[in-house]
Structure 1
């Protein structure tokens, strides 16, 4: 009897080992599974205070982490966590209403993505109404708009266009969630048209993106917004959408370059192409997410990119401290044409710029 049980145990272990080898994104050591890590970070977020702009209104990094925690909760069917995340939002309709961001900037308008994601869960019309206001005002030109803003609008783009690579997450996430909620193709077309223009204007020949046209440095988190925005948008797009081939071209070009710049440790550095710079966690998590989604959707060669994504995920885990704060996160960073400036940027444990993409990765690794 013992011999049969032992042989069965060995057989099961062998199958698990083969499964890990066949699909590196399906099996992880205890303590580093996406379910365990996601739970740690999501629970930590639920209990945290709002991250605010100068004490005034919700910061986009908090929205990103909130969206990630919701994605994780949905993947694990954690009803308690879903309810906690919903309860955390409810005061925005009453005594925390003053914390709602104004509808006049890409970083502020993306708040609508959270309301729309929650609406898809609870079907509460208040969430839909609020979220769509943020999506619609991104294209509704205000009376006091500047000439440059009106010029973008006249070309069919958002008046909030500024040609910062961050925008290709900030704009596409709220327009994408509006499309999911309404089924109205105008939201998808807006996001796609904007993405194509940003790719045409900003992507470098090597597939990466400068922090700004006048700042020739490949800052990891800046590039990370593009790396996440493209696959998230393409997941919503029908195969025959006219803008899809151009976005896919830009995505594949970027992924190839990122694969080449991944450090032996599995991480990416604060400046992607600077091997002597420090490993930065928010950018690494964003790039890992882009690899994971690409493999799952069949856009990236699994034999090549799945091991790279696994290596990144396992390298990321030790940067989570005992308080469930991700460490080595570059703080919010404006552009500056000075390489040393990027090396010297402070690192803020628990900064939601990093907590968020860790949650995105955990949710993505739990399957489509």
Structure 2
């Protein structure tokens, strides 16, 4: 009996390491570090992608932060300095491009300087980033009745029950927690995530774009997958909201495993086999699954092949200049199925560039 238990304990970590190895060795053309280098360095000379033509947009913010994380992981000091210089130029000579603190898609900008603060401890970054986290819970005087109602229930006044929000809100609150150590930020993010899970997750684990838009849009679901992943990486094992978020995550990952196409990708509408393969959402799903395997939330034997096949497929959409193709453009909700089929597809769109950096960094960790 003792011998059998010993063999089981010996075989278990070996099986885990074998499954993990599927995420460590890739053929030529799919090496995460090489692809990451191309995508990250492309950002140095990239133009701003502006929200409403006025302010730094969330795709640029996340591409920027992903590049910072890549520079940190690889020890690329030249790239890191370029990212700091870009922010210095923004605050010094382009301050009009700094997003106002009045919308869920704009407040997330704070996650960028807060990440730089974590790495450098330069208080200027903290002073720039923290107000973006705080104002998500500070109700403005001109708030409408719905916003005030959410605030009275101790949710963000920016709550709107669009699935995109569960990366926008959680990422800046989580970054504020990492920067300050104040648990209120993590508690806020977790409480908000539980609300969205309870309100929006369907029995199959996926999410409608919004309650009144019953379609499983790829990138929208990707925001949920990535948001849950970010929170689970930070939530203590004994946090009261962790079991609910983990349950939502596992249910979603099980569904994504079933809907992955033979190519390794996921479609623009996840459950529609005749829809086109979309890269940004697929990269977000791959990021969530890679992280789940590495963090021990997902069984490696079942999910390592899913993550590997996804990355091998995704690598084919990156050109020599580090531009990702087949990226769905920015998309508002619309109760029209054909609308999602007909969305334009761009190459080099920062929605895709950012999500690829998440995958790269997760594979390199």
CA contact (8 A) 2:38 2:320 kept: no
- Per the alignment, residue 350 of structure 1 pairs with 348
> How far apart, CA to CA, are the structure 2 residues paired with 1:125 and 1:21?
42
Contact 1:20 1:26 (C-alpha < 8 Å) held by counterparts: no
Matched residue, 2:94: 96
Which runs of structure 1 show a deviation greater than 4 angstroms over 4 or more consecutive aligned residues?
19-22
Contact 1:166 1:226 in 2 (8 A): yes
Question: What is the CA distance between 1:322 and its match in structure 2?
Answer: 3.1
Q: Distance in 2 between matches of 1:364 and 1:72?
A: 10
For residues 84-143 of structure 1, give each alpha carbon's deviation from its aligned partner in whole angstroms, at most 9, with x where no partner exists: 111111123211111000100111000000010011122221110110010000000111
In the alignment, structure 1 segments of 5+ residues that lack a partner are 1-18
Residue pair 1:289, 1:360 contacting (<8 A) in 2 also:
yes
The aligned counterpart of 1:337 is 335
Equivalent in the alignment of 2:156: 158
> Greater shift after overlay, 45-54 or 143-152?
45-54
Q: Using the TM superposition, give the Cα deviation of residue 22 of structure 1 relative to its aligned residue in structure 2, in angstroms.
A: 5.9
The farther-off stretch of 117-126 and 19-28 is: 19-28
What pairs with 1:105-120 in structure 2 (closer than 5 Å)?
105-120=103-118
Contact 1:218/1:272, CA 8 A, preserved across alignment? yes
1:292 Cα deviation (Å)? 0.3
Partners of 2:206 and 2:216 within 8 A in 1 = yes
Question: Residue 305 of structure 2: which of 304, 307, 316 is its match?
Answer: 307
Counterpart residue number, 1:226: 224
Distance of 2:94 and 2:20 partners within structure 1 = 49
Task: Deviation per CA, 1:131-185: give whole Å up to 9, x if none.
Answer: 0010000000111111111110000000010011111100000000000010000
2:131: which partner in 1? 133
Once the two structures are overlaid, the 10-residue window that deviates more, 193-202 or 84-93, is 84-93
Pair 1:316 & 2:346 matched: no
Number of the residue aligned with 1:215: 213
The TM-score with structure 1 as length reference comes to 0.93
Distance of 1:161 and 1:226 partners within structure 2: 14
1:83 is matched with which residue?
81
Please tell me whether the aligned partners of residues 20 and 27 of structure 1 are also in contact (alpha carbons under 8 angstroms).
no
> 1:109-258 to 2 correspondence within 5 Å?
109-258=107-256
Deviation larger for 22-31 or 140-149: 22-31
Quote the offset at 1:194 in angstroms: 0.3
**For 1:20 and 1:357, how far apart are their aligned partners in 2?**
26
TM-score, normalising length: structure 2: 0.94
Rounded Cα–Cα distance in structure 1 between residues aligned with 2:215 and 2:48: 31
Measure, in 1, the Cα distance between the counterparts of 2:173 and 2:100.
17
SS across alignment from 2:264: coil
Q: Using the alignment, how far apart are the partners of 1:176 and 1:265 within structure 2? A: 34
Shift of 1:21: 6.6
Task: Report the secondary structure of 1:277's partner residue.
Answer: coil
Q: Which residue, out of 23, 35, 38, partners 1:37? A: 35
**1:316-357: per-residue Cα shift (whole Å, max 9, x none)?**
111112332100001011112222111111001100000101
Does the CA-based 8 Å contact 1:113-1:178 persist in structure 2?
A: yes
Alignment size in residue pairs: 349
For the residues of structure 1 that align with 2:130 and 2:334, how far apart are their CA atoms? 35
Deviation of 1:29 after TM superposition, in Å, equals 1.0
Q: Distance in 1 between matches of 2:34 and 2:303?
A: 23
Aligned-partner SS, 1:82: helix
Rounded Cα–Cα distance in structure 2 between residues aligned with 1:317 and 1:270: 18
CA change 1:349–1:233 in 2 (3 A) is: same
Correspondence for 2:8? none
Give the drift of 1:56.
1.1
